[in-house]
Chain A
Amino acid sequence: MIKVRNMTVAYSGQPIFTNLSIAFEPGKITGIIGPNGAGKSTMIKGILGLIHKQSGDVTLHSKPVAKQLKNVAYVEQRAALDLTFPINVFDTVLTGTYPNLGLFKIPSEKDKSAARQALADVNLSEFSQRQIGELSGGQLQRVFVARAIVQEADVIILDEPFVGIDMKSEAEIMSILKRWQMAGKTIIVVHHDLNKVTKYFDDLVIINRGIVAAGKTADVFTKENITTAFSGDLSTILFSDKEPEHA
C-alpha cells in the first residue's frame, strides 16, 4: 500500500495543495480525476519525488518510497519525450530492466527475453526493430506499458495513458492493467475522460487543489462530487441519463 501523509507542494510560493493525505491499495486500479490545473500530475510527481515537497512523506510497504523507487514504475505522458532519439522499440522496452540492474551491469539474456515477452504481451512483437518515432501514439503508449511490465514493480503509476490513442491500444493497455490488478499490484492512473470512470476504476480519487473525495468509485463518482471538483454544467450532462437509476 502507498500512503501519502500531509503532502504540501507549492510552485514559487503558490501552494498546489496543502497537507494532502491519501492511500492507494494493492490489487486495485485507482483513478485520479480532476479539472485542468487541479494538481493531478503534481500529486504523482510529489509521490515519486520528482518535485520538491514543502512537507509530507510517502511510504510504500510502510517504508519511505524514496528508498525503493525502482519498485514504482512510472509511465509518463508521452508528449515529454524526444521521439527522434536513435533507439528502437525493443531497446526502449529493455530500459525497463535498468532500475533493477543498478550500476555497472548490462541487461542479461534473461532480461532480453523478458523484454521480448513484454512486447508480445502488448502485441507489438513485429515492431521490435522499428525506430520509436515510426509508431502511432497508441503503439508508443503500449511500448511504455511494456517497459513497465519489464520493471516488475509493485506499484505502477500512469499519467494520462489514454490521451490521443486508438481504441485497440486503449483496450490492450486496460487488459494489462487488469492483469497487474490480479497480481496484487497497486495501479494508479491519472485520467481525463470522465465517461469511462465507472468502467475502468475500482477506486477513485477526485482532486481539485486538494482531495475532493476518495474511496470506492461507486461511492465517490457522484453528481455532488463532480459538481464540486468540476462544474455543475458538466455533472448535469454526465449524470443526466442516470437520474432515473438514483430515483
Chain B
Amino acid sequence: MRSIGLFIDGLMQYNFLQTALITSILVGIMSGIIGSFIILRGMSLMGDAISHAVLPGVAVAYMLGINILLGASLFGILAALLIGLVTLKSKLKNDTAIGIVFSAFFALGFILISLAESATNLHHILFGNVLAVSDNDLITTAIVLAIVLIFVVVFYKELLITSFDNTFAQAYGLKTQLMHYALMLVLTLVTVTALQTVGIILIVAMLITPAATAYLLTNRLSHMMIVAAIFSVVSSVIGLYMSYTFNWASGPAIVLTAAVFFSLAFLFSPKQGIIFKKKIN
C-alpha cells in the first residue's frame, strides 16, 4: 500500500510521471478501440505485422528529421499494400504473405536503426519506455487519439458492416478495400504512439488482449470497444505503477497486467468463461 502512496506522491511531484500517466491512458483508449476491430476482423496477425513493419519508417524519420508519424505511416501502409499484393497475385495464403513482408520490413528497420543509433535507442523502441515520453510526444499522442475517435465515430457503420458481413457490404457497393486500408492507416498511427508505452514488439498485445477480454464479456460492438478501452487503460496505469515502483520495463509490465485481466475473464466470464460453462454442464 505504501508503494501506491509513493506512486501518487511521485505523480504530484514529477512532470515526467504525469506525462507518462496521461500518455498511457490515451494509448490505452485508442488501442482498445482499434484492437476491437482487429480481432473481430480476424486480423491479429496483421496487427502484429503492421506494428513491426513501421520500424524502418521510424528509423528513416529519425535520419531525415521528419515527423515520426509520417515515416511510420508510410511504411505501415506500404506493408499493408505489399501483403495485399502478394496474397492477390500468388497462390500463397494471407498469413504466409504477412510473415514474409513484416519480417523483411522489421529486418530492414533494425539495420536502419543501428545506422542511426546516435539519435535513438533501439531498446526503447522495441520495448517502450513510457517514463521517457516528452511533452511533444504527448501532443502527438493526443492528436492520434482524436483521429482514432473521429475515424470510429464517422465510419462506425462502415466499420461494423465490413467487420461483420463484408460480402453484404460489397454487395451494396461499399468500397470495402478502401475501408480496409483506411483501418490499416489508423492502425499504423496507433502503433507509432503505442510504441512509446509498450514498444514495437508488444504492441500487438495492447491491440488484442484488452479487446479479447472485452469480447468475452460483451455482446455488442459499441460495448466491446468501451470495455476494451477500459481494460486497456487500467492495465496501462497498473503497468506504469509497477514500472515506477519495481523499476521494470513499462511495456512488459503493462502487457502482463492486461494478460492477467484476460485470464480472469477467460476463467470467470459469466457467458463464456470456462469455469461457468463447466457448472452448467
- What is A's interface to B at a CB cutoff of 8 Å? 48, 50, 66, 69-70, 72, 74, 76, 80-82, 85-88, 91-92, 95, 98-99, 101, 103-104, 106-107, 131, 151
Asked if B63 CB lies within 8 Å of chain A CBs, one says: no
CB-CB under 8 A from B215, the residues of chain A are 86
* Mask: chain B, 160-177; 1 = CB below 8 Å from A; 0 = not: 110111011111111000
Q: Which of B187-240 contact A (CB under 8 A)?
A: 215, 218-221, 223-224
Q: Identify which of A70, A82, A106 gathers the most chain B CB atoms within 10 Å of its CB.
A: A82
A–B complex contacts, Cβ < 8 Å, 16 sampled: A48-B171, A50-B170, A72-B171, A74-B167, A74-B172, A76-B167, A81-B164, A82-B164, A86-B215, A86-B220, A87-B219, A88-B219, A95-B161, A95-B165, A95-B168, A99-B172
Seen from chain B, the residues whose Cβ lies within 8 Å of a Cβ on chain A are 40, 42, 154-158, 160-161, 163-165, 167-174, 215, 218-221, 223-224
Whether B157 and A98, one on each chain, are in contact in the complex, defined by CB atoms closer than 8 angstroms, is: yes
| From B165, B172, B224, contact of A81 by CB (8 A) | B165
Using A86-B215, A87-B221 as known contacts, say yes or no to A74 and B158 having CB atoms under 8 A apart. Answer: no
Contact: B160 with A70, CB < 8 Å?
Answer: no
Given A70-B172, A98-B157, A50:B167 Cβ within 8 A: yes
Report Cα–Cα, A80/B158, bound state, in Å.
19
Least CB separation from B223: chain A residue = A86
Neighbouring B residues of A104 by C-beta, 8 Å? 154
Report which of A80, A88, A99, A103 forms a contact with B220, defined as CB distance below 8 A. A88
> B residues within 8 A CB of A81?
164-165
- Chain B, Cβ-Cβ closest to A85: B164
Query: What is the CA–CA distance of A98 and B167 in the complex, to the nearest angstrom?
Result: 14
Q: B220 touching A69 by the CB < 8 A rule?
A: no
Shortest Cβ distance from B271 into A: residue: A131
